[in-house]
Amino acid sequence: MSVFDEDLFLKGLEQRKSTLGTAYVEKNLAAADDFTRPFQEAMTAWCWGFGWGDDVIDAKTRSMMNLSMIGALGKMDEWETHCRGAINNGVSRDEIRAIIHVIGIYCGVPQALQCFRVARKVLADNESDA
């Protein structure tokens, strides 16, 4: 990892595991090969170490912001991942619903419906895990 500061990567790795779960992160890193590993390392250092690594915005608020932005972009696989992470960071069912309402207002009803479909699955999975 010559391009990145190792400390930033390790800080990002800790935050990424805290939000998305150790098993999920380790599975993704283990699946990385010579082609995808540089991106996994960069994303961990930049997104999770730099972006999530400061203390200005708490993890719960960041998760709520991410759900809004990723929902607006319509990236539903990532939205599902970050919905799970948001729950890990303390975002409630009611807060997820309120975020989807905002997505519906600003991005359209079809996008909100997609978010609701994914959120229902994530919430049901989370309840069965409890």
Contacts with 44 (C-beta within 8 Å, 6 or more apart), sequence order: 9, 12, 13, 16
Give CA–CA dist 83/78, Å, rounded. 8
pLDDT digits (tens, 9 = 90+) for 71-108: 999 999 999 999 999 999 999 999 999 999 999 999 99
- At residue 128, the pLDDT reads 83
Q: What is the pTM of this model?
A: 0.88
- At residue 127, the pLDDT reads 87
Tell me 55's DSSP state.
S
Tokens of 117: 């479909």
pLDDT digits (tens, 9 = 90+) for 13-23: 999 999 999 99
Quickly count: other Cβ atoms within 10 Å of residue 2's Cβ. Answer: 4
Q: Is the pLDDT of residue 1 over 90?
A: no
